[in-house]
């Protein structure tokens, strides 16, 4: 065996592609094992427009409910990030009419209090934990809702940095809370009202408006191609 033959990764799924039977919205199809849920839909001949976005696990367009063979529990996933297995059944989540509050984030007077006007349902959380279980990003959503209510906006903004806004936490909520929208409001408020202003950024903006770099600009923009290339080579 030469070097090249040795450096090949074993992939049983490629060597002997195994077809598995899955169930898409109530119909059975044969698809190759291990492809993503979205690719399985394409393989099954379905056109997917609603339900596909970034294909990279970031946009949350592909929120999906699924169940594996013999398991009674209906789970949730991002269809572009989940591989199919034999006996799996799934269906995509339709758009859910959650209510998003409208606000002018900069003009809020008391953001922690305003939360209760904008999302009066937030403090009614009944601790069922369904939202946490539904979250494909493994965020402790329930905890986040409580932290929001108790005014710990900073923790919420950190916890929900992973939130792809798939909305899977919303239809399951027995208190009609849309935790991701609450968290979005809280995170923005945290950024606008409770985060230190970066002083150095203002200094830089002032330097630019005051023309501190004008001499350097003049020098550089007056250079011919060759001079500029030489100058560039000196910047390391």
Strand partners, 92: 64
Which one of ligand FES, other proteins, ligand SF4, none is in contact with 74 (Cβ closer than 5 to 8 A by kind)? none
Residue 208 CB, nearest approach to other proteins (Å): 6
Tell me: does residue 137 bind ligand SF4 (CB under 6 A): yes
In the complex, the smallest distance separating the C-beta of residue 218 from ligand SF4, rounded to whole angstroms, is 50
Helical axes 111-118 vs 179-193, angle rounded to 10°? 160
- Distances from the Cα of 28 to the Cα of 23, 71, 82, 84, angstroms: 4, 18, 18, 13
In the numeric block, the tokens 């023309």 are attached to: 211
Is 54 a binding residue for ligand SF4 by CB under 6 A? The answer is no
Q: Among residues 24, 62, 84, 115, which is the contact residue for ligand FES, using CB under 6 A?
A: 62
Per the listing, tokens 């200094």 go with: 203
Interface region with ligand FES, contact rule CB under 6 A, candidates 48-56, 103-111, 118-126, 213-221? 48-56
CA 52, CA 39: separation in Å to the nearest integer?
11
* Residue 169 in contact with ligand SF4, rule: CB under 6 A: yes
The verdict on 98 binding ligand SF4 (CB under 6 A) reads: no
Helix axes 141-149, 179-193, angle to 10 degrees: 50
| Strands (E) located in 27-144 | 27-32, 63-67, 75-78, 89-92
Burial of 234 (0-12, 13-18, 19+ CB in 10 A): exposed
The reply on whether position 139 binds ligand SF4 by CB under 6 A is: yes
Residue 150 sits at φ, ψ, to 5 deg, of: -85, 5
* Smallest distance from other proteins to CB 72, Å: 22
Give the nearest distance from C-beta 189 to ligand FES in angstroms: 26
> Which of 44, 48, 55, 172 is the binder for ligand FES (CB under 6 A)?
55
Q: For binding to ligand SF4 (CB under 6 A), which residues are involved?
A: 60, 125-131, 134-135, 137, 139, 141-142, 145, 163-169, 172-175, 177, 179-180
Q: For binding to ligand FES (CB under 6 A), which residues are involved?
A: 52-55, 57-62, 78-80, 164
């Amino acid at each position: 065996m030469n070097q090249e033959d040795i450096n090949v990764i074993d992939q049983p799924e490629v060597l002997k592609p195994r077809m598995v039977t899955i169930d898409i919205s109530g119909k059975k199809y044969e698809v190759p094992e291990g492809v993503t849920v979205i690719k399985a839909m394409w393989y099954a001949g379905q056109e997917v427009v609603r339900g596909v976005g970034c294909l990279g696990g970031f946009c949350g367009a592909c929120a999906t409910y699924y169940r594996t063979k013999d398991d009674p529990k209906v789970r949730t996933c991002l269809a572009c990030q989940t591989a199919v297995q034999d006996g799996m059944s799934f269906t995509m989540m339709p758009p859910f009419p959650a209510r998003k509050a409208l606000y002018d984030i900069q003009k809020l007077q008391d953001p922690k209090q305003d939360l209760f006007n904008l999302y009066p349902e937030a403090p009614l959380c009944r601790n069922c934990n369904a939202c946490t279980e539904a979250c494909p990003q493994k965020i402790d959503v329930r905890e986040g809702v409580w932290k929001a209510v108790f005014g710990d906006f900073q923790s919420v903004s950190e916890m929900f940095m992973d939130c792809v806004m798939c909305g899977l936490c919303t239809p399951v909520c027995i208190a009609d809370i849309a935790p991701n929208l609450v968290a979005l409001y809280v995170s923005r408020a945290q950024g606008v009202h409770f985060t230190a202003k970066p002083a150095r950024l203002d200094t830089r903006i002032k330097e630019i408006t005051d023309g501190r770099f004008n001499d350097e600009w003049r020098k550089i923009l007056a250079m011919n191609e060759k001079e500029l290339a030489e100058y560039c080579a000196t910047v390391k």
